[in-house]
Structure 1
Amino acid sequence: MATTKWAVDPTHSEIGFKVKHMMFTNVSGSFGKFTAEAETDGDNFDNAKFAFSGDINSITTGNADRDGHLLSADFFDAEHHPKLTFESTAFTKKNEGDYTLTGNLTLHGETRPVTLEAEFGGIAKDPWGNTKAGFTITGKINRKDWGLTWNAALETGGVLVSEEVKLAIELQFVKQ
């Protein structure tokens, strides 16, 4: 069967994350500049291969001071580590529409395996004749696994920034 290439449609995709702040509220952020691609056998996404690259300098949380801190050596150290990348090692069907996506995430100069949940939304043609495929990807990582260890203690106990980062990713691909 012929290999099919899929490119992300960035205008209909988003790479988001949430981190607990002060142990009781979530701060949301996203990456504004990224690329993603998939490779499938025909239009069948079973065992598909995925690759992703995000520009660390495009991070936004809606607060310029916080964004600046995230780009600094305390967190992402964007000057020395300007990209985060993901390369899949497996895309396994659990049941109709639900998959497990495993792969290697490189962030802050460290590469570690991650396992994410993927919901396949389906394939459809848009009004201009383009074949599109949609995915919702979720998961959790511990930022300390990638050397992102900055924190501050709270006088009430606990810490300012959670170690757990929740990922919320929406990807729409265009068949090439």
Structure 2
Amino acid sequence: MDYTLLLIVAYFALLAINLRKRWGVIEGPWLFFFRAFFPNWKFYHGINPAPRLYVRGQSESGDWTDWRLLYPRIPRQAWHLFHNAAVNLALTHQNLVDHLANDINDLPDGADIRERVTYQLVSRLAREAIEGGSWGHAPMMQASPVARLCAYQFELRVELPDGASSERMLQSPVVPTWN
């Protein structure tokens, strides 16, 4: 028997045992990885405000850019039916932002969101975006990257799909880039 298959079966069996003990509550740092197998399905509950990631950068002269939306909207093409790695990566990034919003909502009193893996990954995503990162050939943001970036900051906002309502959920501290 293939060891990979055996490890996957053992992993899911361990999760099932733990879920049975806790009656459906998934907690703990090692159980976090279980979420990687499934997308966030909360968007099927209706049209509600959704989390959106905004990023801004600071140049060496000290000037800040405007807040820029980082939201995957890649033009669809017929060949994406067969190979869509860039689209999958973009959707994975948005799913990560959704998970950060859920972690913020589920955060116990007195806990620091900056210790969560989702926060750290979104922080890296924000830096990559402001430095000109892309999903395949599609840039993460429509605006040009900041030349000689010395710091960046990101915000998580909850917005309605039409953009009429926006509420800040989280604003990161200013993060130096140490180039």
TM-score strictly above 0.5: no
Work out which of the two has the higher radius of gyration on C-alpha atoms and give 1 or 2.
2
Give the TM-score taking structure 2 as reference length.
Answer: 0.31
Give the TM-score taking structure 1 as reference length.
Answer: 0.31
More strand, by proportion: 1
